[in-house]
């Protein structure tokens, strides 16, 4: 294993001596697009590549950016960290100005160090792992998708600020997804300092009933419940809370926000809150991007298409605003200017996370999830 990596590295090193010569001849802007373009995770990477190519084609047709044509350079990393370092080295040696990617958090983390040393900015459409931005290790990293902990943060802030809850019970289904959300919610409730977590407990999915744990929530005097998990357990919990005459707000993650929950919970669903990705389908930019895609490919775009489209948009706008591809200028433009993109009107905060992207709180009203503004 190690040996093959070494061989590839040697190969890359050999190549790198030949290729940069073309880098200086640039009257084009080179945008590397790295992600899984082959292998079983390719469906997550290819839509971003297609989005970048579409944006580039449109911009080029309109005369390019600052009079220069935009060249998209796809690079496959198969979502594997060891291949991602190769891909990154290759892109750097080919003289890319900026990178869209990578797609998977693990691969992104492996590649970022290489871009950082080469002073290249990377904008990922999909790497949601929180430390990528929050650790401060990668000042050259930006993303057009909300990090994993955003949902827990939103649920915690909604419960304490909007609902005014003082004592919050947090339940989860013991799974990666549910417990992850519950952990983040707990962290942000405690960090907020406005409320305390009176109960943090796992329930067993598939257990006959949850009445005992519900009695416990009551005994702890909780005035809101945050639940991490999927809709079957959520509907069982909310149904039994109503049976036990407990009328306190119930907040779930996007695993609850769906038609499955509405169907199973029926009348009990009324008034339940759930966080979920913001609805961007009504934005004109988003609608146009989708329509163009369908016209070109004859099918609906795949996962992370919107985010990939937005990444390309912000990067080209930043190049235009700063008048070049210099690191400092790009950084200033990315963090300073709002841009209308396929995921909404966004700019980046000091850490590289997009402001204006992310999750909203929804509430079931008359049997439908309604976005609360």
Partner 1 sequence: MEYFLELSSSGLVRGSIYALIALGYTMVYGIIQLINFAHGEIYMIGAFVALIVSGVLTIYGFSGVSILILAALIAAIYAAAYGYTLEKIAYRPLRNAPRLSPLISAIGMSLFLQNYVLLAQTPDFLRFPALIPDFEFMEPIAHIMGSAELVILVTSAISMVGLTVLIKYTRIGKAMRATQQDMVMARLVGVNVDNVISVTFIIGSVLAAIGGVLVGSYIGQINFYIGFMAGVKAFTAAVLGGIGNVPGAVLGALVLGLTEAYAAGYISSAYEDVFAFGVLVLILILRPSGLLGKAVKQKV
For partner 1, the binding residues (CB under 8 A) are 174, 201-204, 206-213, 215-216, 218-219, 231-232, 235-236, 239-240, 243-246, 260, 263-266, 268
| Nearest-approach distance from CB 255 to partner 1, in angstroms | 13
3-state secondary structure of 39: coil
- Identify which of residues 15 and 246 has a Cβ nearer to partner 1 in the complex: 246
| Nearest-approach distance from CB 173 to partner 1, in angstroms | 10
3-state secondary structure of 198: strand
Give CA–CA dist 318/302, Å, rounded: 26
- Identify which of residues 243 and 345 has a Cβ nearer to partner 1 in the complex: 243
User: 144: which residues sit within 8 A by CB, 6+ positions away?
Assistant: 123, 124, 125, 307, 308, 310, 311, 314, 341, 343, 346, 354, 357
User: 235: which residues sit within 8 A by CB, 6+ positions away?
Assistant: 261, 264, 265, 268, 269
Give CA–CA dist 155/186, Å, rounded: 10
- Identify which of residues 38 and 204 has a Cβ nearer to partner 1 in the complex: 204
3-state secondary structure of 354: strand
- Identify which of residues 182 and 333 has a Cβ nearer to partner 1 in the complex: 182
| Nearest-approach distance from CB 202 to partner 1, in angstroms | 3
Q: Using CB atoms within 10 A of its CB, is residue 260 exposed (0-12), middle (13-18) or buried (19+)?
A: middle
| Nearest-approach distance from CB 271 to partner 1, in angstroms | 16
Give CA–CA dist 300/32, Å, rounded: 24
| Nearest-approach distance from CB 165 to partner 1, in angstroms | 20
- Identify which of residues 148 and 201 has a Cβ nearer to partner 1 in the complex: 201
| Nearest-approach distance from CB 175 to partner 1, in angstroms | 12
| Nearest-approach distance from CB 275 to partner 1, in angstroms | 21
- Identify which of residues 267 and 373 has a Cβ nearer to partner 1 in the complex: 267
- Identify which of residues 22 and 215 has a Cβ nearer to partner 1 in the complex: 215
Task: Let me know: does 178 contact 230? Beta carbons within 8 Å.
Answer: yes
Q: Using CB atoms within 10 A of its CB, is residue 363 exposed (0-12), middle (13-18) or buried (19+)?
A: middle
């Amino acid at each position: 294993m190690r040996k093959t990596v070494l061989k590839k590295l040697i190969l890359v090193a050999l190549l790198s001596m030949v290729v940069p010569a073309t880098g200086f001849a640039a009257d084009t802007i080179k945008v590397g697009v790295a992600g899984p373009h082959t292998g079983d995770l390719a469906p997550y990477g290819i839509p971003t590549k297609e989005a970048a190519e579409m944006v580039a084609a449109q911009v080029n047709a309109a005369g390019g950016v600052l009079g220069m044509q935009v060249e998209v350079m796809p690079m496959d990393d198969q979502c594997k960290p060891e291949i991602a370092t190769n891909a990154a080295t290759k892109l750097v040696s080919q003289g890319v100005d900026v990178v869209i990617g990578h797609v998977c958090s693990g691969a992104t983390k492996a590649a970022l160090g290489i871009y950082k040393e080469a002073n290249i900015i990377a904008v990922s459409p999909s790497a949601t792992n929180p430390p990528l931005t929050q650790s401060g290790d990668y000042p050259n990293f930006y993303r057009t998708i909300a990090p994993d902990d955003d949902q827990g943060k939103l649920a915690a802030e909604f419960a304490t600020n909007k609902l005014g809850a003082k004592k919050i019970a947090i339940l989860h289904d013991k799974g990666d997804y549910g417990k992850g959300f519950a952990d983040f919610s707990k962290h942000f409730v405690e960090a907020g300092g406005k409320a305390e977590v009176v109960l943090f407990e796992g329930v067993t999915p598939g257990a006959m009933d949850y009445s005992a744990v519900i009695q416990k929530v009551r005994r702890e005097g909780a005035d809101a419940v945050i639940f991490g998990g999927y809709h079957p357990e959520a509907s069982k919990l909310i149904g039994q809370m109503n049976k036990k005459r407990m009328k306190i707000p119930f907040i779930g993650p996007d695993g609850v926000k769906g038609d499955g929950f509405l169907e199973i919970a029926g009348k009990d669903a009324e008034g339940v809150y759930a966080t979920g990705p913001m609805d961007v389908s009504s934005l004109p930019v988003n609608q146009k991007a989708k329509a163009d895609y369908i016209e070109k490919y004859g099918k609906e775009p795949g996962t992370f298409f919107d985010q990939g489209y937005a990444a390309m948009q912000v990067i080209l706008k930043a190049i235009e605003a700063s008048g070049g591809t210099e690191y400092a200028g790009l950084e200033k433009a990315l963090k300073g200017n709002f841009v209308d993109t396929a995921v909404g009107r966004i700019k980046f905060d000091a850490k590289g996370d997009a402001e204006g992207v992310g999750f909203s709180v929804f509430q079931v009203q008359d049997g439908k999830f309604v976005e609360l503004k």
